[in-house]
Structure 1
Amino acid sequence: MTLRTRLRSIFAAPEEMDLTTGDIGWPLLVLSLPIVVTNLFQTAYNLADTFWLGQYGTGALAAISFAFPLVFLVISLGMGVSVAGSVLVAQHTGADERRQAEYAASQTMTFALLVSGLLGIVGYFLVEELLGLLGASASVLPMATRYMEVVLLGMPFMFGFFVFVALMRGYGDTVTPMLVMFGSVVLNIAIDPFLIFGWTVVENAPLVGTVAFPEMGIEGAAVATVFSRSLALLVGLWIMLRGGRGVRIHLRDMVPDLSYLRRLATIGLPASIEGTGRALSMNLLLVIVALFPETVVAAYGIGTRVFSVVFLPAIAVARGVETMTGQNVGAGEPARAERATTLAATVLFGVLTAAGVVIWVAAAPIADLFTTDPAVVDSAAQFLRYVALSFGFIGIMRAYTGSFRGAGETLTAAAISVLMLGVIRFPIAWFAAPILGPSGIWVAFAVSNVLGALIAYAWYRRGTWREGDASTAVPVDTEASMGGD
């Protein structure tokens, strides 16, 4: 394959690339590269908020340090629906079952919107109490609450777009979500400063003094994110309803099917447990972080935002492995799925270790990008240096858990995540923080990263994932319930 042909294949339609035969490395790269870019755009939402709110004040920066983990928790509770839909679409696509893939996608979108709407409503009425439980101080709590209230009301739009990305990925199309995300992120970054700081016309009479945008502070960042994501979801729904690229959904297939909900829950519940475990870990760690001054809380927020950028390759390749494993298990080629996973784990370890060395060296200048407070910079730089050299192990763990999910072994992926975060990271931080101060929390991150990789590798070598999960199979009579094409 020539270089020109390879470059063109990145933007080829998914049906033009067979993930179940031929080369392994290039298809995995073609799947993963757009996901890296998509996740980079996704992270740009958070980074834009972190940057502008850092200029707005340390209090606002501390507030989103509490808000972001709580947003992640709410999304994680419904994450299983999107993971189940992605796995089902991938396995049906690999087995050349187009109608079943379309039905899975349609039902997934329906229940995703319903579940996220319910979670948003419940969360809206409990958000202040939840933030208080996490240890938000009296000065931070009102700002964090206002931010979360806007986000929770927009949860169906935000979560709906995540599901669009997951369904297209399961089919093998990672480019289309990347392009939609790009437009959404550009819009968000463009309106973020205007909504946060406000904008009053000071020239060009007779408009002098006219308030074009009111100063909304932290609420403005939330409004910008929800508005941008809402437009992205509408575009995503239009793409899937047209069916010109990627998996197609049908309105007739979107009528809630409770029997199919049970199938989604069987696969998706462990994935929700995994995501919720990650989110609970972040939130429980905040309880420990909140015992320290506001500068440490802000540093924790900066550090986790930086990690979200560094880990983009790991998350993206894991999603690519998930799709390749799903399609190859569906096609009866588990050995090919294993080769792809091993390759991904090896490459990610090398790439993220190199990135960790760079972060270790440049920790202070990186932290300085987000705040003008020297105390916050010092604390954030210390956080980054403690964790940076363990980055490669995150890549190993992500590759193997991605393969577990693709094979339908979502419970195994969840168990590994819970062990890493709940049994290793949180207890270490809990006992070490009173002795070592904030350094005890940073040490907990590094140790759990290494042990999580070792656990994932050992579990994967047992080979229990090879047979896949029988619960992902669609019974023959389901075709009748789809109503034909």
Structure 2
Amino acid sequence: MILGMVMMMSFGLVDTFFVSLLGTEQLAAISFTFPVTFTVISLNIGLGIGTSAIIGKLQGAGAINDSKLYATGSLMLSVLLVGSLAAVGYVLIEPIFKYLNASEALMPYIRDYMGIWYLSSVFLSLPMVGNSVLRACGDTRTPSIIMASGGALNAAMDPILIFGFGPVPAMGIQGAAVATFIAWIFGASWIIWLLAVRRELMIPRLLNLAEFKRSSKEVLRIGLPAAGANMLTPIAGAVMTAIVATYGAEAVAAWGVGNRLESIASIVILSLSMTLPPIISQNIGANLYQRVEQAYVVALKFILVWQVVVFGLLWAASHWIALIFANEQEVARLIKLFLAIVPLGYGMQGVVILTNSSLNAMHRPMTALVLSIIRLFVLFVPVSYIGSVLFDIPGLFWGNVIANVIMAVISYCIFKQMLKKHRTS
């Protein structure tokens, strides 16, 4: 899972690197897109969580025909919902990014990138949800290979399409979106062939209305709260981007680079958040609550130590990272400042993420959703904003860390309370 997640997250990081070579305005433009693109990706993640929970239960019960039905319904549902969200986003490109404080100078770059990206997002939904079907059926290797292959294809196409090569014209920032589009079409074709033909894990046809309603209802019951919790992160990120934008394009560029690096730095957390839930749900079903608690606590201990190591590496390499991603001295300075402060809170953020994924595995998606709301809109945004008002950009960065520490303590206490309820129910 770590290998697959690294390659999946590399989409944004590789795009950011090559676009940064075009200039600060293009780097700032792609930085503005991050909270918006992650909103769409978060919907896919939530639908994948619901799909995995339902398919895994049906496979365990031996209900293979129902499993195929729900797999097909989940894929159809993801295309419908993501396509609808992308269509709305496409129509509202200018209002959304003006709300995020994007300047008129950046809007042409944002339109070039997002116009293609929204179209490609429909194809992203198929491999993301389809990979959840494979994992629920016991295969974690193939999803990683699919994600890794897509990331490698994206990385190979980026410089060709952005800067041009031979008969291929230079497309600038739009080339990064086209490279992603090609990679996702490749992944979508692969996963549909695997599920429908090679593995026969889905019904190779469109469902009728009755079948679609039946399969969608169960997936949405878990998937919608999970998607909502995930979609809150980019919404809060959009608010934070608007706050950072008041400090200028250089600050937004540095913030965007920091967010991309955070995705890579948190790769072990995200991989654990996808592998811990099956252990939690299986042992909850077997009433082995001590094993549930042991798995949860071991994961937290490991991630806290691991992220301290990650912080040390990022801090030590901050000078070279800034040189890679920044053409201007001020952008480089802010990137180094970000890496000296914000990664201190990644371990505590990991506690929150693993707690939420465990709560979903315990069929407590609404509790996870409430915790996400508290984390982002009661702590993360307000504390960071207050920090920026009192201590400028460094205060905003330290506000990130403080919010994560407080939320980690709250999350741990809530998990213990929910586990106690399961034991006594």
Within a 5 Å distance, the mapping from 1:49-448 to structure 2 comes to 49-200=15-166, 212-244=167-199, 248-251=201-204, 254-256=207-209, 257-448=212-403
Query: Hey, what does 1:477 align to over in structure 2?
Result: none
Q: Give the distance between the partners of 1:320 and 1:93, measured in 2 at CA.
A: 17
What one-letter code is carried by the residue in structure 2 that aligns with 1:66?
A: F
Give secondary structure in 2 for the equivalent of 1:261. Answer: helix
Match of 2:13 in 1: 47
Moved more, 433-442 or 59-68: 433-442
Moved >6 Å (runs of 4+): none
Query: 1:331 offset after TM fit, Å?
Result: 4.7
Q: Distance in 2 between matches of 1:351 and 1:262?
A: 39
In structure 1, C-alpha distance between the alignment counterparts of 2:301 and 2:403, rounded to whole Å: 19
Deviations 1:91-116 (A, max 9, x none): 33344443333332221111011111
Q: Which amino acid aligns with 1:396?
A: V
Q: Which amino acid aligns with 1:168?
A: L
Q: Supply the distance in 2 between the matched residues of 1:227 and 1:116 (Cα, whole angstroms).
A: 18
Amino acid at match of 2:34: F
User: CA shift at 1:59, angstroms?
Assistant: 0.8
Once residues 60 and 391 of structure 2 are traced to their aligned partners in structure 1, the CA distance between those partners, rounded to angstroms, is 51
Query: What one-letter code is carried by the residue in structure 1 that aligns with 2:263?
Result: S
Identity %: 28
Per-residue Cα deviation, 1:144-194 (whole angstroms, up to 9, x for no partner): 122111111122101222112222222332110111122222211111111
Contact 2:101 2:245 in 1 (8 A): yes
1-side partners of 2:229 and 2:301: how far apart?
Answer: 23
CA deviation after TM superposition for structure 1 residue 89, in Å: 1.8
Post-superposition shift, 1:252?
A: 5.0
Please report how far the alpha carbon of residue 382 of structure 1 lies from its aligned counterpart in structure 2 after TM superposition.
0.4
Contact 2:67 2:202 in 1 (8 A): no
1:37-68 CA-to-partner distances (Å, cap 9, x unmatched) read: 11100111111111101111111110111112
AA aligned to 2:102 is A
Q: Is the 8 A contact 2:69 2:215 kept in 1?
A: no
Residues 274 and 465 of structure 1: CA distance in aligned 2, closer, same or farther (over 3 Å) = farther
Q: Distance in 2 between matches of 1:337 and 1:173?
A: 22
> Quick check: 96-105 or 170-179, which moved more?
96-105
Where structure 2 has 5 or more consecutive residues not aligned to the other structure, the ranges are none
Report if the CA contact (8 A) 1:420-1:452 is conserved: yes
1:37 alignment counterpart: 3
Q: CA separation in 1, counterparts of 2:157 and 2:273?
A: 32
TM-score by length of 2: 0.94
1:248 maps to amino acid: L
Q: Is the 8 A contact 1:70 1:283 kept in 2?
A: yes
Aligned residues: 422
Q: Which has the higher helix share?
A: 2
Distance (whole Å) between structure 2 residues aligned to residue 264 and residue 180 of structure 1:
23
C-alpha contact (below 8 Å) 1:394/1:453 kept by paired residues: yes
Which digits, 9 at most, give the CA deviation of each residue in 1:73-127, with x for residues without a partner? 1333454322211111223334444333333222111101111111111111111
- Change in CA separation of 1:78 and 1:388 when aligned onto 2, cut-off 3 Å: closer
Contact kept? 1:387, 1:443, Cα under 8 Å? yes
CA distance in 2, matches of 1:131, 1:458: 38
Whole-angstrom CA distance in 2 between matches of 1:424 and 1:363: 27
Taking the aligned partners of 2:297 and 2:198, their CA distance within structure 1 comes to 34
- Contact residue 109 and residue 254 of structure 1 kept, 8 A: no
For 2:264 and 2:127, the matched residues in 1 are separated by 20
Instruction: After superposing the two structures, state which structure 1 stretch, 357-366 or 135-144, moved more.
Output: 357-366
- Structure 1 residues 96 and 83: CA distance shift in structure 2, 3 A: same
Q: 2-side partners of 1:128 and 1:165: how far apart?
A: 33
Give distance in 2, aligned partners of 1:451 and 1:160.
37
How far the C-alpha of 1:396 sits from its partner, in A, is 1.8
In structure 2, distance between residues paired with 1:149 and 1:454 = 41
- Classify the secondary structure of the residue corresponding to 2:325: coil
Whether the 8 Å contact between 2:44 and 2:129 is mirrored in structure 1 is no
For residues 174 and 456 of structure 1, what CA distance do their matches in structure 2 show? 28
Give the Cα separation in 2 of the matches to 1:417 and 1:68: 19
* Aligned counterparts of 2:240 and 2:363: Cα–Cα separation in 1: 30
CA deviation vs aligned residue, 1:245-266 (integer Å, no higher than 9, x gap): xx81113574442133222222
CA distance in 2, matches of 1:429, 1:164: 37
Write the distance in 2 (CA, Å) between the matches of 1:91 and 1:310.
Answer: 32
Unaligned runs of 5+ in 1: 1-34, 201-211, 471-485
Assess, with a 3 A threshold, how the Cα gap between structure 1 residues 215 and 378 changes in structure 2: closer, same or farther.
same
Whichever of the two has the greater Rg, that structure is 1
Contact 2:126 2:188 in 1 (8 A): yes
Asked if the contact 1:184–1:228 (Cα under 8 Å) also holds between the matched residues in 2, the reply is yes
Compute the RMSD of aligned alpha carbons. 2.1
